[in-house]
Structure 1
Amino acid sequence: MASEKIERTLAWLDAHGIEYQVHYHPPLFTIEEALAYWKDIDSTHCKNLFMRNHKGNRHYLVSFECHKSLDIHSLEHMLHQGKLSFASPERMDRCLGVCPGSVCAFGLINDIGIEATADPKELFDNGHRVKYFLDSDLRDARKISFHPCDNTASVVVSNEMFMKFLSIWGGEYEWLDIPGQSDR
């Protein structure tokens, strides 16, 4: 049985005409664990990090191909956002509606329409609490997969559907050239 977070995410995707495939599996907390379940899924699988700036008033989601590695100092240099640290579980829940091990792009559905309830100090000029950075290799991926806000499933969307998702979300995103060998 799907969790409430998965059901909510899939209902949102359905309501916005975003086609997907869902694959259920046991909770997966690391990429190494996930690769055993993803081996037969035709998709570029993503690793996701949720960061905050040193003041704690800016939040950044970073998604990159799962076989790549990225240390925090390299990430700070790429993002040009100052000193970064990993966001706390409370921030993950407040900003993306996820818990540790479930950080994903689909958490951005919880960053829509939050201007009235969010702390104004946390909002970017576009009214969103999160800025999204993506591995430029994902731009060319035919299919991309993320958890649906819960690490007991993976959702695969086409590149076209993912771009539609980003457009509906409406926040700021930026492509990054993250070094490393992707395994697509």
Structure 2
Amino acid sequence: MAKKEDELFAFLAGLDIEVSTRRHAPLFTVADSQALRGEIAGGHTKNLFLKDKKDNFFLVTVDEEAEVDLKQIHHLIGASSRVSFGKPEKLMELLGVVPGAVTVFGLINDSEKQVKVVLDAPLMENSVINAHPLTNEATTSIASDDLVRFIEATGHEPVILKVSA
């Protein structure tokens, strides 16, 4: 059973990671979330749930404004072939979220460590990163160093790499 928002916050508290969360109407796209700019400081994320032909899964987290060349990214992230978007069923199975709520915090649900996480280097230059806390009805702000600590605590090894154009 996928963990929910309250379990995520308890996990973060157990790591002594402070976050702040702001509730809002459901956001499904980057364009939706940009209406909140100025109200929530820091880097805002766009998350790509990708798979290659060998069913290797990747979560690529970039700045909301970043452009990613999906025809070339496989060379950068270690995929065995060109990538495509993962199916919603796999997204729910592995990260416990639905399309529109894809988030780096979903790694808390990947207990089998089937998803490789890639954080875009320019995004990580922000001192604060914003992401959905397993629901697209809120945005959680976390220090970038604490985000890395969270990812490592889930048993994933974050790869920080420039993947955006």
Return the TM-score normalized by structure 1: 0.81
| Counterpart residue number, 1:47 | 46
Structure 2 unaligned blocks of 5 or more: none
Q: Deviations over 1:85-121 (max 9, x none)?
A: 1111110111101110111110001123x3xxxxxxx
Distance 1:160 1:79, change over 3 A: closer
How far the C-alpha of 1:65 sits from its partner, in A, is: 0.7
Partners of 2:45 and 2:21 lie apart in 1 by: 15
1:146 and 2:145 matched:
no
Indicate the SS of the match to 1:163.
helix
Partners of 2:61 and 2:93 lie apart in 1 by: 19
The code of the aligned residue for 1:159 comes to S
Give runs of aligned pairs for residues 128-167 of structure 1, distance below 5 A.
Answer: 128-167=113-152
Out of 136, 155, 161, the position equivalent to 1:176 is: 161
| Counterpart residue number, 1:96 | 95
The code of the aligned residue for 1:100 comes to P
| Counterpart residue number, 1:121 | none
Indicate the SS of the match to 1:98.
coil
| Counterpart residue number, 2:104 | 105
How far the C-alpha of 1:46 sits from its partner, in A, is: 0.6
The code of the aligned residue for 1:165 comes to F
Percent identity between the two aligned chains: 32
Partners of 2:131 and 2:144 lie apart in 1 by: 12
Partners of 2:127 and 2:157 lie apart in 1 by: 22
The code of the aligned residue for 1:37 comes to L
How far the C-alpha of 1:7 sits from its partner, in A, is: 2.1
Partners of 1:35 and 1:55 lie apart in 2 by: 35
Indicate the SS of the match to 1:72.
coil
Partners of 1:80 and 1:13 lie apart in 2 by: 29
How far the C-alpha of 1:151 sits from its partner, in A, is: 0.5
Contact 2:29 2:100 in 1 (8 A): yes
Structure 1 unaligned blocks of 5 or more: 115-127
How far the C-alpha of 1:13 sits from its partner, in A, is: 1.6
Contact 2:62 2:164 in 1 (8 A): no
Q: Deviations over 1:130-179 (max 9, x none)?
A: 11111001332110011011111010001231122122122132122134
| Counterpart residue number, 1:84 | 83
Indicate the SS of the match to 2:71.
helix
| Counterpart residue number, 1:64 | 62
How far the C-alpha of 1:16 sits from its partner, in A, is: 2.4
The alignment covers a number of residue pairs equal to 162
The code of the aligned residue for 2:15 comes to H
1:8 and 2:7 matched:
yes
How far the C-alpha of 1:17 sits from its partner, in A, is: 1.8
Return the TM-score normalized by structure 2: 0.90
